[in-house]
Amino acid sequence: MKIKQLSLILAVGVSTSVLTGCGIYNKYNAEKIDSDLVKEYAEALKQQDDSTAFGNLSWRSVFTDPALVDLIDRALANNKDLRNAKLNVDIAHAQLKGAKLSYLPSLTFAPGVNGAKYGHSDLSWNYQLPLAVNWEIDIFGKILNTKRGAQVAEMQTRYYEQAVRSQIIAGVAQCYYSIAALESQLKLSRETSELWKESVNVMRNLKEAGRLREDAVVQSLAQYYSIEATITDIELSLHEANNTLSLLVNEMPQKWTISPDATLNVPVMKRTAIPMAELAVRPDVRASEMTLASAFYSTASARAAFYPSLNITANG
C-alpha cells in the first residue's frame, strides 16, 4: 500500500514539474528574457521614480500660460481619441471581470411547457424545469492564463490611454507655440515688407535722379516680391496650425487668438542620451510591454489546451 501511495505522489510531482517546465503556470517576467536591453529595462522599473525629473512633472507645472491651460483642458474633455481610449479601458475591465467569473460554476435554467391532446381526451400539460450545473476545475491553468491575459490587457489599455493623453497635451502645446511663433514671424515679415516697399520707391527716385542704374531697382524689387511670397507661405502655415489645433480641441475650425509673445520656459537639459529609467516609465513603452505579456499568456493558454479538462456537471 505504501508503495502505491509513493508512486502516486511521485507521479503527481513529476506531472507538476513537467507542466511547470512547459510554462503553463509561469508568470510573465521581463528579467527572464534573454536580452541585455530588456534586463536593463526590468532593472530600471525597480528604481524609485524621481518626482523632480522633467518627465515626471505634472503638465500644469510645465505649462503655466492660462490660455494654453484652458486649451489643454478643453482638448482633454472633448478629444475623440481620448474618449475612445477610455472606452477601451472599460471594455478591458469588463473582460477581466468575465475572466474572474470563469472560476465559478455555470448554471443553465431553461424552463418549458408543452400540451398534448389525443382524441376526445382533455388537453394534458407537461412542465419541464431543467437545471444544469457545470464547474470546470482549473487543473492545467486554462482559466488562470485567461485571467492573467485579461489583467495585462486591461493594464495595456490604461497605459495606452495615458499615452494618448500625453500626446494630446504635447500636440496642443506644440500647436499653441507654433501659432505664436508664426504670428510673430508674420508680423515681422509684414513690417519688413513695408520697409522694402519704401526702399523700392527710394531706389526708383534715385534712379530717376540719375544716381542709380536700373539693375539696382530691379534687385530691390525682386527682394520685395520674395518677402511678399514668404508672407503667403507663413499665412498658409498659420492656417494649417489653426486647423490642427481645432481638430485637437474637437471644435469648429477657427482662427485662435494667441499672443505672438507667448514663450515656453523649461529647464535646459544637457545630456548625450536618455536614461533607461525615464524610458521605462513612458506609457507607450509600458503598453508595448503589456502586449508582450499578453502574447506570453496566450501562448501558455494554447499549451494548456493540449491537456484534458476536468468538469463537474449535474443535471436535475
51 domain-assigned: no
pLDDT tens digits along 3-12: 554 444 444 4
Q: What is the reported pLDDT for 1?
A: 47
37 domain-assigned: no
Q: Which of 74-78, 98-102, 136-140, 216-220 has the highest mean pLDDT?
A: 74-78
Q: What is the reported pLDDT for 53?
A: 67
Other beta carbons within 10 Å of 293: 21
Q: What's the pTM?
A: 0.75
Q: Which residues of 202-227 are buried (b: 16+ CB within 10 A; e: fewer)?
A: ebbeebeeeebeeeebeebbeebeeb
Terminal-to-terminal C-alpha distance of the chain: 39
pLDDT tens digits along 265-302: 766 666 677 778 778 888 888 898 899 888 888 888 88
Domain of residue 204 covers: 63-115+124-315
Can you state the angle between helices 214-249 and 142-208, rounded to 10 degrees? 150
137 domain-assigned: yes
Q: How many domains does the chain fold into? A: 1
pLDDT tens digits along 202-231: 777 777 777 767 777 777 788 888 888 888
141 domain-assigned: yes
C-alpha cell of 237?
502655415
CA distances from 240 to 34, 256, 276 (A): 47, 12, 36
The domain that holds 283 is classified in CATH as 1.20.1600.10
Q: What is the reported pLDDT for 23?
A: 64
6 domain-assigned: no
24 domain-assigned: no
Residue 164 or 26, more confident: 164
Listing DSSP states for 240-252 in one string gives HHHHHHHHHHTS-
267 domain-assigned: yes
**Per-residue pLDDT for 94 more than 80?**
yes
Q: How far apart are CA 68 and CA 293, in angstroms?
A: 38
262 domain-assigned: yes
pLDDT band at residue 52 using 50, 70 and 90 as cut-offs: low
Average pLDDT over residues 7-19: 45
Residues 6+ apart with CB under 8 A from 258: 67, 176, 179, 180, 183
The mean predicted confidence, pLDDT, of the chain is 81
**Per-residue pLDDT for 136 more than 50?**
yes
Q: What is the reported pLDDT for 243?
A: 92
